[in-house]
A = this chain, B = another copy of it.
Amino acid sequence: MDTHELTKMLHTKHDSKIVFLIADGLGGLAKEPGGPTELEAADTPNLDALAKNGCSGSMYPVGRGITPGSGPGHLGVFGYDPLKYMIGRGVLEATGIGFKVGPNDVAIRCNFCTLDADGKITDRRAGRIPTEESAPLAVKLRQVSIPGVEVFVEPVKEHRFVVVFRGKGLGDKVLDTDPQETGVVPLDPVAEDEPSKKTAEIAAKFYTQAIKLLADQPKANGLTMRGFSGLPHIPTYEDVYGLKAAAIASYPMYKGLAQLVGMEIVGDASTLEEEVEVLADVWDKYDFFFVHFKYTDSRGEDGNFEAKVKMIEEFDKIVPDVVKLGPDVLVVTGDHSTPAALASHSWHPVPVLMSAKDCRCDPCEKFSENEALKGGFGHFEAIHLMPMALAHAGRLAKFGA
């Protein structure tokens, strides 16, 4: 029996409220051995108070040694096994720009490229053509028309754009057309199973028409298609936890990921303060709230230790406004680590704290990677976080008599 079969079997009606405050890329690294991490260097009186009276732990979003992308990182925190529910590149790219991928869609991550007179690729990224030049080209491709299927073309950034085919019975097992080298022509789209043959044919038709539309373009006269993918079959929060869930995020990617597990996107906040205002506004309408804060990750990705420290302090400041709402269970964590020292996502575990009436208070004095090692939750994989939150929220019945 997997975790979701269990939570589904045991879930219980309750009017308790659960809040997940997710600081993206929260976990960090010290500048030198024995020094503080970004979280440890930050002045976080509110988070420390929660940790002191709550329960902490050290969490692996995917698994030990595994550096999670944003997709797997969030799926893990949401309680879904990231190794079971794989989100394709096309779907993730579409999700990242706010395109709502539907059940009959196949999404494709495309690159503009340049082709020579023989149709051979000369630059796989069309010289990283600026977005203001590539976006009109993507829009131009909306002229492609294929009978029996809806076609969406969306600009992304520089040479990247997204194509979505919407139609019944489209498989997504189609190989990339990007040959990963120059001096050769793009590959034909090849289906790997029966239901994907139709998709491959549509992709071939799309390509033929698109190439004609781009023929006279000096900056980008070709394209390649990668990461063909449909919506993964993910059960919803309502299904597996019996929770009506709301997502409050400012970036499309995180809204999209939340939608994949059946959360409703609420509000239109762009700052953390606005996110908390939205939270207060919709408080009565939902059981579960995912509140996403992006900038801890961004400053980590920039490699800027001090700026990440500042973002963590900003994050700490809004905590009292969340606490004031009276959540039965408040969880604070990240979807992965983004140490400024590495300027990228990393495999290091993420500290977690839970504040709830029935927490067994542990010896942690503050919210920190190192304090969390002493935490009552120990070291655990992210998929175990939701059952613990549900339990503390009085939403899981006894298992067996």
Contact = CB atoms under 8 A, between A and B. Distances in A.
Interface residues on A, range: 35 or more
Nearest to A75: B400
Interface string A390-401: 110000111111
A64 interface: yes
Interface in A365-381: 369-370, 373-380
A contacts with B: majority SS: loop
Interface in A9-39: 10, 29-30, 33-34, 37
B361 A67 contact: no
A222 interface: no
Interface string A334-355: 0000010110111111000000
A92 interface: yes
A387 B349 CA distance: 13
A86 interface: yes
A66 interface: yes
Given A53-B33, A92-B401, A399-B72, A358 B341 contact: yes
Contact of A347 (B64, B341, B396): B396
A67 B390 CA distance: 11
B66 A396 contact: yes
A369 B378 CA distance: 12
Contacts of A52: 33
Interface string A51-70: 01100001000111111111
Contacts of A375: 373
Given A347-B388, A373-B363, A398 B34 contact: no
A365 to B, nearest CB: 11
A287 interface: no
Nearest to A5: B83
Contacts of A391: 65-67, 346-347
**Closest 8 interchain pairs by CB?**
A65-B387, A378-B379, A69-B400, A65-B391, A72-B400, A33-B53, A65-B388, A64-B384
